[in-house]
Structure 1
């Protein structure tokens, strides 16, 4: 198991903006629907319809959650015609999510 590298932890106090982003990111990861969406997008790029169909969610629910995740820069999209295709946008957060899933499966 990898040892935690304390040298990469910033020594200065956390400023308000950083604190807000960190807590909002944990809030995003605290919601089961958002975790399901991020997990799916970790595996592949998807349209809103594909996410809704795969996860058995309403389109409006998916759109709402994607807007929340996009505002935090956790997902990004590309346009193809009239369709938007979403993918994850932050390797750091995806690694945290992957580690938490592995932790849960290991327990």
Structure 2
């Protein structure tokens, strides 16, 4: 299982690099172009491209972060592996729920 988690974390890291680069590049461009936060949100509302970018980001983060948290908890605490796995899984669910709620709020 650890090999699969390692591969998943590397794959999601790649996806995070892409989505964060798109986000930061776009934000720098539009802010320098003089758009306000309200104008930016008006452009993202109902846009499938931004839904896919931010949806990909949230999904990747909800996978990537708990895997790292799992490793840290296993190395730095005395919590048993089953407990660590449950904590990581609960954190993944929380990140996914809150992240998708935000993404869908931007889209709707």
Quick check: TM above 0.5? no
Larger radius of gyration: 2
Structure (1 or 2) with the greater helix fraction = 2
| TM-score computed with the length of structure 2 as normaliser | 0.34
| TM-score computed with the length of structure 1 as normaliser | 0.34
Structure (1 or 2) with the greater strand fraction = 1
Higher RCO (C-alpha under 8 Å, 6+ residues apart): 2
